C-alpha cells in the first residue's frame, strides 16, 4: 500500500518518504545572488524530506524576478551553493535546484535590464524591486532568433547546479514566469513557431527541457507546471489539450518527474496523471491560497495516483514536518510577515515540536 511515509525510487535517488519540500521564494541571498550560510542551515534543517526543491534560482541576470534571490549564472554563485548542498547531504537529504526565469515578471530596477517575454504584454500587478513594489513594466518581445538562447540558459544553470552538488534541477514552468508565459494565450501573442497553436505554445517549454536533459541527463531534470493557473495575469486556452500535448512531448525526454500544482479542476488533473507515464509530484492545494497542504490532502492525491506530495508553507514553520506527519503532532502556523523580510527571524527560528512531559 502506498503511504506518504513509504519510500520511493526517483531515478537513482532512494527517497525515504514521499514528502517533497516545495520551492518557495525567501529572498535571503546576497545582493549579487550568492547563497549564504543561513540558507545552508535552512535547507539542512528540512533534510528529512524525501526531496527538497529550492526556491527559484535565476539562470541569467535578465531572468531574475525579485531582488534578494539566488542565481546560478556565475561561477561565484555556483560556488556559494556548495556549502548548501553539502549541509543537506550531511543531514541525509536530497536537493534539486529550481531554475526560474522570471521573463516579464521583473523590473529594470532589480536587474538593470528591460524584462523580456514572448510578447510586449506586461504582467498584471506590481513586481518587487529594491525600493518596493512597482507596476510591472512592459517587457521586450523576444526575437525568434533569441529564444533558443533563453532555453539554453536553463541548461547552463543546470550544469552549474550539478557541479555545485545538487542532485538535479526543476524547471519552473508554472505560476506566470517565462515558460508559463509561452504556454499562455494572452501573454504569448506570437505568430511565429513559438505561439498561436498548442504546438507553438509548448515549443519553448520542450526546448528548455530538452536542452537541460542534454546538459545534465533526464534523471536529473524535472519540471513544475500550473495547468490553468492565472498567476501574474496569464490565461491559458485549451488547458486539457495544451497540457496533454506538453506531457506527450516531455515523455519523450524521460524526465525525472513532473510537478503539478492544483490550479485547475480535479478531473483535468487526474487525466494528466493518466497521460504522464513517469513520476508525478502533486502540490495538492492552490499555492498561496487559503488552505495549506495537510495529511488529508496528501493522502487524497496519493489515492488518485500521485507518487509524491509537495508541501509549501507547512515546511516554513515546521522544519521537522516529516516527523509531525508521522506522529500526528500539530502543524505550527507560519508567520507570513517574515516571508520576505530577510534575516534569520522567521527563517531559522522555527523550532522542532516539543513533546510535553
User: How far does the chain reach from its first CA to its final CA, in angstroms?
Assistant: 34
The H or E element that residue 135 is part of is strand 134-135
Contact, 159 vs 220, CB < 8 A? no
Q: Do residues 26 and 339 make contact, with C-beta atoms less than 8 angstroms apart?
A: yes
Query: Is there a catalytic annotation at residue 177?
Result: yes
Total residues belonging to the chain = 357
Which helix (H) or strand (E) element contains residue 216?
helix 198-216
Three-state DSSP class for residue 132: coil
Among 261, 172, 277, smallest CA distance to 222 is for 172
Angle subtended at Cα 91 by Cα 299 and Cα 87, rounded to the nearest 5 degrees: 120
* All cell numbers assigned to 244: 496533454
Q: Which residues contact 284 (CB under 8 A, 6 or more apart)?
A: 262, 293, 297, 298, 300, 301, 306, 309
Q: Which residue has the cell 530577510?
A: 342
Which among 42, 177, 194, 347 is annotated as catalytic?
177
Max CA distance (Å), the chain: 67
Give the residue numbers annotated as catalytic, written as ranges: 177
Amino acid at each position: 500500500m502506498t503511504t506518504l511515509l513509504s519510500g520511493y525510487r526517483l531515478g537513482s535517488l532512494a527517497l525515504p518518504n514521499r514528502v517533497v519540500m516545495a520551492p518557495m521564494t525567501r529572498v535571503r541571498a546576497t545582493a549579487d545572488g550568492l547563497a549564504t550560510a543561513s540558507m545552508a542551515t535552512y535547507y539542512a534543517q528540512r533534510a528529512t524530506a524525501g526531496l527538497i526543491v529550492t526556491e527559484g534560482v535565476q539562470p541569467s541576470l535578465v531572468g531574475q524576478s525579485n531582488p534578494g534571490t539566488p542565481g546560478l549564472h556565475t561561477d561565484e554563485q555556483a560556488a556559494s551553493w556548495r556549502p548548501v548542498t553539502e549541509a543537506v547531504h550531511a543531514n541525509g537529504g536530497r536537493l534539486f535546484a529550481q531554475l526560474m526565469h522570471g521573463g516579464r515578471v521583473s523590473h529594470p530596477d532589480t536587474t538593470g535590464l528591460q524584462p523580456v517575454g514572448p510578447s510586449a504584454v506586461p504582467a498584471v500587478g506590481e513586481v518587487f524591486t529594491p525600493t518596493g513594489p512597482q507596476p510591472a513594466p512592459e517587457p521586450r518581445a523576444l526575437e525568434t532568433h533569441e529564444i533558443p538562447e533563453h532555453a539554453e540558459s536553463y541548461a547552463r544553470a543546470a550544469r552549474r547546479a550539478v557541479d555545485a552538488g545538487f542532485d538535479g534541477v526543476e524547471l519552473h514552468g508554472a505560476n506566470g514566469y517565462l515558460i508559463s508565459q509561452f504556454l499562455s494565450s494572452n501573454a504569448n501573442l506570437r505568430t511565429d513557431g513559438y505561439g498561436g497553436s498548442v504546438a507553438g505554445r509548448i515549443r519553448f517549454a520542450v526546448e528548455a527541457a530538452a536542452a537541460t536533459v542534454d546538459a545534465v541527463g533526464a534523471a536529473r531534470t524535472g519540471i513544475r507546471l500550473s495547468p490553468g493557473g492565472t498567476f501574474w495575469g496569464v490565461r491559458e486556452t485549451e488547458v486539457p489539450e495544451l497540457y496533454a500535448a506538453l506531457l506527450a512531448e516531455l515523455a519523450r525526454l524521460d524526465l525525472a518527474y513532473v510537478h503539478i500544482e492544483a490550479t485547475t479542476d480535479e478531473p483535468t488533473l487526474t487525466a494528466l496523471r493518466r497521460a504522464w507515464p513517469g513520476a508525478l509530484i502533486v502540490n495538492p492545494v492552490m499555492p498561496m491560497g487559503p488552505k495549506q497542504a495537510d495529511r488529508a490532502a496528501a493522502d487524497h492525491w496519493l489515492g488518485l495516483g500521485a507518487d509524491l506530495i509537495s508541501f509549501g508553507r507547512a515546511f516554513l514553520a515546521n522544519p521537522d514536518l516529516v516527523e509531525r506527519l508521522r506522529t500526528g503532532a500539530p502543524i505550527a502556523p507560519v508567520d507570513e510577515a517574515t516571508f520576505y523580510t530577510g534575516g534569520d527571524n522567521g527563517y531559522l527560528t522555527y523550532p522542532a515540536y516539543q513533546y510535553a512531559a
